[in-house]
Amino acid sequence: MRVRRLAALVLVAAVLLTLLPLSLRLSERAPTVSVRVEVVGEGRVLVNGSVVSGGVLEVEPGSTLVILLEAPEHVEVELYVNGSRRPAGSEPLLMKVRGSTALKAVFKPRLAALHVDAGGLTVLAAGKGWEREVNGSATLNVGLGERVSVTALCRESGGGVACVERWIVLSDASTGVASGTLPPNATVQVLANTTLRAVVAVRTKEGSLLLLRGAVLAGGVEVPATLYPDELGGWSAAVEYLGGGAWRVSALGRSSMFIELPEGWVNATVEVWVERNYTSAPFAGVFVVVSESPQLIRGCSSAEALAAGSYFRVLLVRGEGALEVPEGWVRGQGYWPKPNPAARAGRLYLVVENLQVKLRVVVRGR
């Protein structure tokens, strides 16, 4: 009797089980896999349209996830799936999940190169959360759009004090064209590869002289030489010493400068390569200071527009002026109506207007 009653109960239970909905019959949930999401930096990760700031998602095996990465303009994105880097762009990424997955999105600032040329002096450069001492020159990788402050330090030099007088700013270093100037202690926002080039002044009892370091060739050897921007003649050029006695000068507008040559030089050859014109009326002049009382220069200058790619050669004689003048140039002379502290006898005097030129100076003694 007891056996019959147990069998009947089992039969009733089986009938009732077949009548229950499937969702109630399952005592366990459908299998899932874990997707661990990690977000580093300033940006957003959207998975199937929902913002995910981190944590673990549970999805069914074989599910397709639509992943979209959103970042500010100044931020770049790196995406890693199970440790392997995947392409990350503005388009959504479709990813089929078959097992437990680690998804990591790294948002980091886009970098730009900030080259600081302090002209042999020391500068403190500081950005967001960092500070660096630059001795002479250095290239710093900074976040695109980051604001960097520079603080220039002076030092004793040859009986005077050398200080940064101002900075020439080249906002796109590939062009070599000055885009503006800044005071000695200033802040620059780095929106592209940028160069800060110091114009250094040595302050003495006699006054203040701006200077840039380089060299000229004498007997095939580089001899240190100093370039002095002519403050009385206006100055906005970018100057770079290229080596081998050659300088590159980029001038939007008119800039003039002196180059101090080695003592005892007798004649100097100045070669001029015209690399770029900024207007249809460029101008160049090559002179020598022949006397200081009065402060008189003699040499030659272009009389017609200088074509990009052209080459000129000027031969100067100390105390006299131009001995050889290239075709299309004319001899000339000039003076300063008031004393110019940089106009010392024996120095070259160069004028560049709306041009980028390469200059090489070769001097000879007795």
Tell me the pLDDT tens digit for each residue of 122-179: 999 999 889 999 998 899 999 888 899 999 888 887 667 888 888 878 776 454 455 6
Report the pLDDT averaged over residues 260-267: 89
> Pick from 184, 160, 181: which is nearest to 171 by CA?
181
Q: Where exactly are the structural domains of the chain?
A: 32-109, 111-205, 210-366
Using an 8 Å Cβ cutoff, are 103 and 77 in contact? no
Report the pLDDT averaged over residues 35-46: 88
Q: Is the pLDDT of residue 186 over 80?
A: yes
Task: Let me know if domain 210-366 sits in CATH 1.25.40.
Answer: no
Cα–Cα separations (whole angstroms), residue 17 to 6, 26, 252, 342 = 17, 11, 91, 106
Tell me the pLDDT tens digit for each residue of 305-354: 899 999 999 999 998 999 999 999 999 999 888 888 888 899 999 999 99
Q: What is the pTM of this model?
A: 0.51
Report the pLDDT averaged over residues 255-264: 89
CB atoms within 10 A of CB 237: 25
Q: How far apart are CA 14 and CA 12, in angstroms?
A: 5
Tell me the pLDDT tens digit for each residue of 11-39: 444 444 444 443 444 445 668 888 899 99
